[in-house]
Structure formats: C-alpha cells, structure tokens
Chain A
Amino acid sequence: MKSVVANYMISRKWLLLALVILLILLPFVLSDFRVNLLGRYLAFAILVIGLDLLWGYMGVLSLGHGIFFGLGAYIMGIHLKMEASSGGLPDFMMWSGMTELPWFWTVLQHPVIAILAGIIVPMIIAVILGFFTFRNRIQDVYFTILTQALVMVTVTLLISRQDVTGGTNGLTGFSTIFGFSLSDPATQRVIYYVTLGCLVIILLICSRLINSLFGKALIAIRDGENRLRFSGYDTSMFKVLVFTISAGIAGLAGMLFVMQVGIISPTQIGIIPSIEMILWVAIGGRGTLIGPVIGAILTNSAKTFFSESYPDIWLYFLGAVFVIVVIFLPGGLMSLGKKLKRRNSNEKGQTNSKADYSAS
C-alpha cells in the first residue's frame, strides 16, 4: 500500500520535470514579448506556491498576499528607480515638494540590500502580524476578513503617501537593473531564467517541507487545529512560520514581477488581485504544489488570450471559472484525471474530493 504514496509522488515528479523542460525550451520558440509575458506568469507561479502552503495545506486563507507581493515589488521598484535616476530625486517627489530622498530610498540603492529587503521585509511584517493574530486565535473567516482590512490600509497608505510612493501612478520608468539595460531582450531572457530557477528551487524546498513531519502537521492543522493543539503542538507558531514563509515567497515573486513588467502600482496589490491569486491556486489544485503553479500559468495565459481577443467576455469567463472550480472541482485541475476516472469506472471508494476541503 505504501507504494501508492510513492507512485503518487513519482508522477508529480515527472509532471514537474516535463513542465520545467517545457519552460526551459519555450523561449527558443516564442517572441521576446511572449517570453516576457511567460516570465510574469512564472513570477505569479512562485507566489502561489507560498499561498498554497498557507491555504492548500494549512487551510488558512489570506486575502492579503497582495501586500507582501507589493512590498517586494515596491522595494525592487524603488531600487530600479534609484538606478534610473542615478541617486537623484524622482519626478513625483519633486512635484510633491520633497527636497531630499527618504532614508529607505537611500538604503535601497544598494542592490544586495534591495534584494534581501524584498524578501525579509515582507517576512518581518508577516511575523509581527501572524504572531499576534494567530496567538489571539483569530481563525478562519475572521483571519481572512482581517487580511482584507490590512489590504485596504496598505493601499490607502500607498496612495495617500504619494510623496514617497508615487501614489496611484506607482513606480515606473526604470532603465537598468544592476547595470544591465531592462529593455534589452537578452537581459529579459536572463531574468526569465532566473525566475524559472527561483520557481524550481522554491518548489523543491516546499515539496521537501511538505513531505516531512512538518508537512503532516500543516495538514493536521487544516483538518483540526484544536485536535493538534491537544496533541501537544503549539499550532499558532506553525501558522506564524508558514505565513512568514509564504510572505517571503510573495516578496520574492513581487521583485521578479517588477523586473519584468517595469511598473508597480497600488492596483496590482488591492483586494481584487489578492483574490485572483487565490483563484490560481484553486484552479490548479490546492494542496498540490505543482497544481497551483500550472494554475497560475494557465489562468494568466487565458486572461491574456481572452483580453486580447474578447475583452468583454473575460470577466464572465473569470467569474464562471471561480464558481465552477469551487463547486464542481474543489481539487482543481490536478483532481481532474482522478475525477474522470472515477466517473468512468464508477469506483466504489467514496472519496468525494469535496470532503478533502470541507474543513477549509
């Protein structure tokens, strides 16, 4: 029986391998523009791995990951803006009446500091937030809604402190990254492969985590946090840790995103983008690491496809996918094969995939 588990793992490994090879090869057949798009999707794919740890495995739904994604993106954005203005005051600061750079702008001028800060700052914020929130047993729906409140706070602050953040315009107009021209296709390809590399590394690290006893504990938290607490685990610390890890991953994703898109603005981190991120996880298959990755890439490709061809229909489509996936395919695309097979052979096992997530 144990081989079931083993086989299951093997199949995912093959799928991962196929995906990675495909992603390595695609830049050779696609135009620069498409490669750049794909690179953005990969940044999103990195983000959803963290979200999946948090929601898919541990059952904690955060609608506030836009914040961490945004923090990473803004930190990298500030760095790139500093490179572009070579230490001078960006235009929006001038017309906002600023006379010198705020301290954190100066600090982020250094590339190493910027990269580290892009990951660590979201993590620090997540630790503080998570520590109080999870210690105080703010659970389920309450946590989810609380994260929405935090998104509102963040977005409002970003917009109203436009003298240091660029306001609704966000940060844009970058020229170089670590000295390399951002508009050069070669630079973009390097960034693409760096993103892919980050994705693979994070995927591997997380799958190790998931397959350890720690991973079991996460699933146990989803199934019955209180039961686990009565087994002697300090579950809130587990939650804080996973929340923090996912925040760090989101920060990294944000940094990679901004390098490829060349702009970060508050609309990218609001409530709606934060919910969309969750959809990518749901479509791919929560509780499987590879599923959300595929989900993120597929959904964003679909978004591009539809809004290029049928802009009016995109919202109908997106809405319908939300409803259909949640109601009929809670296991996402990864459960599709299982589901089809069950229908065909009418298997006896009552493993209704809905049951998997009844607790979530």
Chain B
Amino acid sequence: MKKGKQTAKQIILQAKNTSVKFGAFFAVKDFSFMVREGELHFLIGPNGAGKTTFLDLVCGKTRESEGSLILKEKHDLSKLKEFEIVRKGVGRKFQAPSVFGNLTVWENLELSMKQDKRLSHILRAKPNQEKDAEIKEMLALIGLSEQKDEQARLLSHGQKQWLEMGMVMMQKPSLLMLDEPIAGMTEEEEEKTGELLLKMKEKCAIIVVEHDMEFVRKYSEKVTVMHEGQLLCEGTMDDIQGNERVMEVYLGRKGDTADASTPAARSVV
C-alpha cells in the first residue's frame, strides 16, 4: 500500500474511542476505527466481542455511551436518527436475513432503492422506466430474476440473503456493513458473494463481520480483530495470524468462547 494514495481517499467512517454500555457491561469499550473509500474491511473476533454492537452503533440502532462517530468527515452519527443515517449513505445487512416477507422480491427492491424517501414523496411516487431498469439490473445481479414476483417469505435462506444484499445495494450507500453475509451459504454461493463484494467495493466502503476465516483470508485487505469490546489488533490477514494475542484469544481460551455463545450474547437480530 502506498501511503500517498491512502491519504487521498476520503475517510468514510471514523470512530473515536466509542463505548457502549449495557448496564455495567461494556459491549464496546474505547474502540477506535477508520474506514476509507473503496476499502473492504473485515471485522473479526470471537462471539460477544462487540462486532455486531459496533455495527448497531454505526447505523444508530444502539447509541454510544462515549466517544464520537463521524461519517464522511462531516456527519456526526450520534446526532442522527436511524433513517437519517441511512439517507446519509450507510447501508446495513443484518445477520439473520430480514426482508419484507409479504412483499414480492420486486417490491422489496423497489422500496429499498435510492430515492427521496420522505413521506410526501412516497405518497406521490410512480413507477418509471428508469427505476424498472435499475431493479431489473439488480435482480440479474443477485440472481433472482426468476423469482421477482414471489413473496419474499417463500424464498430459501440463501435467496433471502441475496435479496437483502440486493436491497442494501439498491440504496447506493457510501458505507456498506454486512453482518456474516455468507452464513448458511453453500461454497458456490460463498464464491459468488465474494465476487460481489469485490465488485461493490468499487462503489463504496465495506465493513464485513465474518467468522469464516477461509473467506476472510481470501478477500480481506484489512482486518480488525475485536475482543471483549476492545480493539485487539489491526492489519492484514498475515499480520493478524502472526499476532500472539489473537492466537491466545482464538485458541487458548476456548472455554470462554463456548461460554460466550450463550443465548444472550448470540441473540443478535
């Protein structure tokens, strides 16, 4: 990586010393983080490390107890409502696929696409050729052209994942956050997802939370490891694998990891 090039790129997200407290428990503690334009940034760590909470924090689902979160160097995310954050260009795909079950695939995409989403506009919104073309394009991209008139709740798990990714992409975000996008996918689907990620990264910065180390190794540029809400280390996959503390967290304290997968810690989404 050339330093010069990096500074030229806009900082999409900057988190400084953020903390999230649930009762007496710090889900995220003094965590600092930065993503630049065009970056594909993986966020890894054992269960309960605070990865999902951090994503929640960025999209406004939870609020920070301390610290600051700045989007594109100008928007203070802590002051914005969820939908305002989205309108400023943050897209999020949740861990469990969450699509609108009683709407068709088409309608799911139509609702999600980038447009003036204020009530007054939605009331007057009419379908048009441009929009249709855009939706069709996305359908082709996520491979659901066949199913476009099917109700989303009838899709398979993998299809729902794709659909949700499509929905997020339709928002044309400048920061895309994906929470375990390949969970429950076949190898082939994984591959496709990876390719999609590379394609998307040209348009926006991406943060991916992932457990599948194979996948991370394959596509990662930059990896951040979280542990107990704190930053453990940051760097390339090779850096990470060489890091002693990471080894310790992942291998040495298995008991802890198992314990952390109790329902409370896992009940994300």
Taking Cβ atoms with an 8 Å cutoff, the residues of A that contact B are: 1-2, 4-5, 212-214, 216-217, 219-220, 222-224, 226-235, 237-238, 241, 349-351, 355-356, 359
User: Is the CB–CB distance between B125 and A214 below 8 Å?
Assistant: yes
- The size of the chain B interface, using a CB distance under 8 A, is 35
CA distance A235 to B103 in the complex (A): 17
User: Is the CB–CB distance between B103 and A219 below 8 Å?
Assistant: yes
Given contacts A212-B125, A220-B100, contact A230 B82 (CB under 8 A): yes
User: Is the CB–CB distance between B82 and A229 below 8 Å?
Assistant: yes
State the Cβ distance, A111 to closest chain B Cβ, in Å. 31
User: Is the CB–CB distance between B149 and A231 below 8 Å?
Assistant: no
User: Is the CB–CB distance between A355 and B111 below 8 Å?
Assistant: no
User: Is the CB–CB distance between A232 and B103 below 8 Å?
Assistant: no
User: Is the CB–CB distance between B154 and A356 below 8 Å?
Assistant: no
CA distance A217 to B111 in the complex (A): 7
> Which residues in B have their C-beta under 8 angstroms from that of A1?
148-150
Given contacts A220-B103, A231-B112, A234-B119, contact A4 B149 (CB under 8 A): yes
Q: Which one, A4, A224, A234, contacts B98 given CB within 8 A?
A: A224
> Which residues in A have their C-beta under 8 angstroms from that of B59?
230
State the Cβ distance, B130 to closest chain A Cβ, in Å. 14
Interface of A is mostly: helix
CA distance A5 to B92 in the complex (A): 30
> Which residues in A have their C-beta under 8 angstroms from that of B118?
234
Seed contacts A216-B111, A217-B111, A355-B153; 16 additional CB < 8 Å A-B pairs: A212-B125, A220-B103, A220-B111, A224-B99, A227-B94, A228-B100, A228-B111, A229-B86, A231-B111, A232-B83, A232-B87, A234-B83, A234-B119, A237-B119, A238-B119, A359-B101
List 20 interface pairs A-B (beta carbons < 8 Å), by A numbering: A1-B150, A2-B149, A212-B125, A213-B122, A214-B125, A216-B110, A217-B111, A220-B111, A223-B101, A227-B99, A230-B61, A230-B92, A230-B94, A231-B171, A232-B87, A233-B111, A233-B117, A233-B122, A234-B119, A359-B101
State the Cβ distance, A54 to closest chain B Cβ, in Å. 16
CA distance A359 to B92 in the complex (A): 22
Q: How many A-B residue pairs have CB under 8 A?
A: 90
User: Is the CB–CB distance between A213 and B125 below 8 Å?
Assistant: yes
State the Cβ distance, B87 to closest chain A Cβ, in Å. 5
User: Is the CB–CB distance between B100 and A234 below 8 Å?
Assistant: no
Given contacts A220-B103, A222-B102, contact A229 B83 (CB under 8 A): yes
> Which residues in B have their C-beta under 8 angstroms from that of A359?
101
User: Is the CB–CB distance between A214 and B123 below 8 Å?
Assistant: yes
User: Which residues of B192-222 are within 8 A (CB) of A?
Assistant: none
CA distance A212 to B87 in the complex (A): 22
Q: Which one, A220, A224, A230, contacts B86 given CB within 8 A?
A: A230
